[in-house]
Amino acid sequence: MQTEKTQTTLKPAALAYQRKMSNPLYFWFGMLIKLPSAVFWSFRIKSLDAEKCIVTIPYSWRTQNPFSSIYFAALAGAAELSTGALCQLAISGLGKFSMLVVDFRAEYSKKANQKITFTCGQGQELGSLLESLQPNDTGKLTMISSGKNPQGEEVARFHVTWSFKRKS
């Protein structure tokens, strides 16, 4: 899943988080406790490293709306997970942070009637922001998650703005 280069850049706490999120059973149980809709909609983390996170959502009866496409809230949840898991990985081992979604915007460009893969590749930018924060400082980052169908066509793009506060 990750390269040797990526493994060496992660702190031990981040490596532990990465291993847990990459384990399907641990991921399922963790999501059941913290985010049950992710279990219902069958989200999967396909890849998670210091640079990017890839999450998939199937097209099935659980995710389908009455118009034979994936329900917009299910797409939004998968997109948020692709950014949020990257945030959780980035803060692992950096101390205590609080994080919150403060803005959310979506653009839909094509019907989502197949398995959709969301990718957020802003790990380096996120890491720089978090490491620059001093205790009690806050910072914001708008992270973009692009959802594509199996043909590589973008069906949706989500802009998720996270606010971070480094605790003392």
Using pLDDT thresholds of 50, 70 and 90, give the confidence band for residue 5.
very low
Confidence of residue 168 (pLDDT cuts 50, 70, 90): confident
pTM of the model: 0.90
Hey, CA dihedral for 20, 21, 27, 29, is it positive or negative? positive
Count the domains in the chain.
1
pLDDT tens readout for residues 94-153: 989 999 999 999 999 999 999 999 999 999 999 999 999 999 999 999 999 999 999 999
Contact (CB, 8 A) for 147 and 136: no
- Which domain covers residue 39, as residue numbers? 4-166
| Identity of the amino acid at 119 | T
For position 46, which CATH number holds?
A: 3.10.129.10
Query: In the structure, what pLDDT confidence band is assigned to residue 10 with cuts at 50, 70 and 90?
Result: confident
Is the pLDDT score of 162 beyond 70?
yes
Residues in CB range of 39: below 8 A, 6 or more apart: 28, 31, 32
pLDDT of residue 4: 41
